[in-house]
Structures are given as structure tokens and as C-alpha cells.
Structure 1
Amino acid sequence: MSAPNKSYDPVEVEALKPEQVERMRDEAIAAFAAAGDLEELQEAKTAHTGGTSPLALANREIGALPPSAKADAGKRVGQARGAVNQALKKRQEELEAERDSRVLVEEAVDVTLPYDRVPAGARHPLTTLSERIEDIFVAMGYEVAEGPEAEAEWLNFDALNIGPDHPARGESDTLFVQGQDPEQDSGVVLRTHTSPVQIRSLLERELPVYVICPGRTYRADELDATHTPVFSQVELLAIDEGLTMADLKGTLDHMVQQLFGGEGMKTRLRPNHFPFTEPSAEMDMVCYVCRGESVGNLDRPCRTCSSEGWIELGGCGMVNPKVLIACGVDPEKYSGYAFGFGIERMLMFRHNVQDMRDMVEGDVRFTRPFGMEI
């Protein structure tokens, strides 16, 4: 049996010649050096170290050589590929260092700058006060009732015993919503109080009814320091068997104590007239600043109550039987009380706001001091 023939001349492969391997090595190193950023370096890496790069293809040709030539060619290609990898690693470290230095400059943060350049927001104090009033009565067992701001005349006036000839139904006080036919009355107004919500509650709910009705109302008023055509109002309605003015008085006393603090806070009722209550009364509360001590005391005058000792809040009274009948409630079996007041007026009392225009102009300098109370 003859032995392998190892005496023939090696097959010369062009890609494995020393000068060709050196050329491929030098081209790869030059391409790495020319890369200006990591993205270009990645492209050069793929071109000179990838599976289809010149050195990778040359390495595959080693298998075509006779055994006596493989070792020398393999050593030559391996040294070239090692040099290429070292050059790649070095250039990558250089470019990463340049990138990090650039990022430190371009994305630097001045930690000495004020942290609160965007000021904190604030809730409008009318919203906060309205919710606080709701919380007081919800804790007493009342429910919060709401209704539309564009309301039927019957709900806004007739059901409340406000007749067609009542001055409040004139265009000087009420904003009427025009219908499709300008010559025909649409029968819709922008509600002048939140009392229509009380009527809706009596029509829709089962007795007894205990509701608190906050919301926006509209009047044909000029905007000045003490008046606004759009204002917030809150009204209360309680209908049950056996309710009296004593229940109304106790409810009012509790409300002012919760809103203005102190056991010394109390209310008084002065006779008045409203179409929807009978008997009716004006509701006053004792001055929350002087607690009535400035009355007749020239040495300690009170600017809040003008040394009168009392501050007017709003109207109240026992629900007129005509209102109960309009809502289908038997006045012989049920009675009830109601009261209402403006939330803007209450805000002026609580926080010494002098001009009602501050509440509607949207200036953040007015709302921000009240903060984000929830």
C-alpha cells in the first residue's frame, strides 16, 4: 500500500499570499482609524471582520492547501486577524470615550438652578369651598343633587310660587334662552338660582328628601366688586314629617360652626318674605371676627361687621305649601325647610376677599395662595 504523496509543490492561493494578507490587514486597520463615530466603526467592523470580509474568506481558503502549507498560512492569517481585532478594540474605546465626554458637555445639568421653575398649580377656591360645604351636609345625611343650568321656566319660577308678574321674571333680572322661532317664547331660561334642583328632587325622589344643591346660576347683572352675572350658589332642602323652624335653626348653627369654627358661632333669623317659603327669614350669623363684642364698643371697632355684631348670609324658611302641592307632596303630612346663599359671598367672608372680580378673571396670583386643598 503506497504512502500519501507529500512531495508535490503547494497549490498557490492568491488570497493567502503574504502580501495579500498584509494588504487586507492594513485596509481593515485604516478603515477603523477613519471611522468618525461608533456608527461608522460598526460599518467598518462588519466589512472587515464579518463572515464575508476579505480575511474571513481568506481563512476559508486554507482548507484547499496541502498539509505542509496549512500551518504557515493559518499562522499568517491568524496574526493578521488578531492585529485587526486589537485595532478595532482600541478604536472603539477611543470613540466611546469621545462620546461620553461629549454627552457630559451637551447634556450637562446645572444643579444650582432653581428646582421649582414651574410653579405648583392651585384649585380655584370656589371649587374647594363648595366641596367643603357639601362635605358638611353629606356628613349630616344629606345627598348632593344637581340639575341643568338651562332650565324650564316652570321649574325655575312657577313651581316655586313665583308668578308671571313677579319682578324677578323680567328681562332685567333673568337671561332667557332664545328658541328657533325668535317671536315665540322658548320657555327656557338660564337658572337664576339652584332652587329648580330642589323641585326636580321632589319630583324624582321618594320622600323623605334631604338634598344639598350647589351649582352655577345666572343673573342679568353687571360685573363689579360685589356682583357678577355668573355666580355660584348652594341651597338646601329637607322634606319630612314633623320638621319645624327649630330644625332649620339647628342646621344653620351647625353649618356656621363647621365653616367658621368655634362653639360661639350661631345664627339668628329675621322675618322676611320669599314666594317659595312661608314663614320666611333672613339668615344672619354672628361676626366670626369680633363674635359680637364690638357692638357699642368704640375702643374695639370691627371692620368685618361694621361693629354690628352680625353678618347677613342669605334667605331661608319653611317650604311654602304651594310648592309642595306643585310637586305632588301632601302639605298636611309633610313639611320642610330650605335655605340658600352665594358661595362667592361666603368666600369673601372667610378669606377677606374685597373684589368679586378677582374670582372670575383667572389670575393665578389670586388662586395660588389657596393651594391644592382636596
Structure 2
Amino acid sequence: MIYLDQAASSFPKPSAVAEAMMEAVNEYGANPGRGTHALADRAANTIQTTRKLLAQRFGASDPRKVIFFPNATTALNQAIQGFPLMEGDHVITTMFEHNSVRRPLEYLKDQKRIEVTYLSGSSEKLIEGLYASMRPETKLVIVSHASNITGEIAPLKSMIEIIKGTASKVLVDASQTAGHFPIHMKELGIDMLAFPGHKRLLGPQGTGALLVEGEVELEPLLYGGTGSFSELPKQPDHWPEKYESGTLNTPGIAGWKAALEELNGLVSRETYLTQKLMHGLLEIKDVMVYGPGPEVERMPVVSFNIGDISSQEIAMVLDSHYQIAVRAGLHCSPTSHQYYDTTEQGAVRASIGPYNTEEEIDRFVQAIEEIRIGYMEM
């Protein structure tokens, strides 16, 4: 199987990931922070070490403000729903956000009567739109660092420059970029950063994190046991316990820790392979590629269609006849498809990871050419 669905979840993982998870289950499968015995301490140390690794990698000042969640969706919900928004407050985001951003905002529009502005267009348009949309009531700006459909990278630094000096906080969804591009929260001025462990950070599914830099007060999504401060009738006001009720996924976090350590020595050719893929697709008649061209820096994500053929049908043919795994449809970002006028057809998305090869890209391009001939010229 040629796996080109890396934007959904990376595969394969480094072998050290499964080994670390098995070790956690077999050798110290105790509850972290819920005991003083040696096994609980070892589990807690794994959790704390992973917090420190993530804080270092992403330029967060305080490892205690690295909060673990089962995925980026929960992390984003904690950041958005936990943020102290009130009726009349204003939030700015973009049309290119995942539903993990859009749906919580639409919920808050109904429940709290907040206002939301959705920016669209090229990088220049996003910057212009942000500048024009900022107002005293703007309390939060949410930006997806890169589109999960086209791989286009948001002009994050320029956008944050506009926000500096205002009362607004910045939340960045780094689901596609974490592990691929260097991100330093303190240097860039990012207040909150959310991402999963299982994509380009090469960790297991069931892991994600919200990193908070500086003073941001959030209401927790969950209330319950935190392992410490048990004498308090209310949720403790300490990081990270305030936001981590219930038992953490120690095996998953152990695997994530192993992945983070492996990343430092990983050499990948994703940029080269992405350019090769785009050049190959652009040479095929009837193929429409969305987003920036191959000369523009982008994530290793390429979405396209062949004429008016259903994107889902193309994905099924690739899977059943060519043993190539891609993603098709709306990719949980329907407003992006509104922008590209692909709501009815969706799009085929091929996404590349560090273990993909040049030969796999050649086979994929050849498969698309054969599918085009089969559908368009028969």
C-alpha cells in the first residue's frame, strides 16, 4: 500500500513509538499522579518529560501550561469554549479553518451571542482583512497555520504583527504544521497553540496538546478528579491539573515522547516530493490542482480533481485498483470548499510524509493519468 493520507494521520510511525507504548503498558502501567509508589512515579515522569519536550520544541515558557488532550479537536475546544467570551465580543478567523474551529465558534454565536468574522482570500487579502476587521470588541483571533486541503501557509507573522498592542489573544491551529515547520510561541507572539500528536509529530493517535504562553485564563471543559488537591470541592486553580481531569493516556504520551526524540534525527524530502507531485499532476490534462503553485512554499498537501469526476470515486479506484490511500471529500473544512467552488465534488487530497519515496510519487502520478484516460477518453 502506498500511503498518501499523511495529513489525516502519519504512517508508518518510528518503531520506537510502539516500543515505548508497549513498555508503558507492560512495565509501568500505573496511574500517573495518583500514587506515590514507584510505578505511578515512573508514569508521572514520562508525562512531565513529554511536557518539557513539547515546551522546548514550541517555545513555550512554562511546561506546566502544556495541557494534554486526546486530540487537537479537544484542545481547540478547550481554547475556544474555555476562553472568557461574552455577548458582543468579537472573534476573527478564516474561511480555511477546520470544523474543529468553525463549529465551536458557531455554537458560541448561538449560546453567547458573540460575533465572528471569517476572512478569505490570498495571504495579502487575509492581512488586509484582518487589519480592517480589528476593533475594540475583538478578543480572539484564530488562525489555521496551514490549510489541510491545499497546504497553503497562512501569513502568521504578519497577522500577529497587526494584533500586537491590542487586547486580543491569538490562537493558532498547528495541526498540519507542528513537526514540519519551526514554531516558537514566545518569539512569534502566539498565546495558544493547539496540535495533535499523531500527524507530522509522528506520535500515536489519541494524543494532542494545547500550549499556553503568558497569562490566558480559561474555564476548563471537564471537572473531576485531578489526582492532587482532592480536598478541594471545586476544580483546582493550578496548571495543568485544572484542565486535565481524569486519567491521562500514559501509553500514548509515552509513544509521543519517543516520537519527539526520533524527530531530531529525521531527514525528510517532503518538500521535494511535493513539488514533484505537483509538477506531475499539472502536466495531466483535465486535472485541476487547488491552492498555490509548486514554486510557493507550502505543506506537503496537494488537492485536485479530474474533470467533473467524483472525488470519492477516484479515491475508491486508487484504493481498490492501485493500492494507494488518499483522502477525498470535504476534509472537515466545508468553507474552504465554498471558496474553491468544490462543495459538490469535493477534492482528492494526497499528502506526503517523511517516509514516502520518489518511486511512490511516480506510481501515483501514473495512476492518475490512467484514471483520467479511463474516465475522460472512453
Higher RCO, 1 or 2 (CA under 8 Å, sep at least 6)?
Answer: 2
TM-score using structure 2 length: 0.21
Who wins on radius of gyration, i.e. which is larger?
A: 1
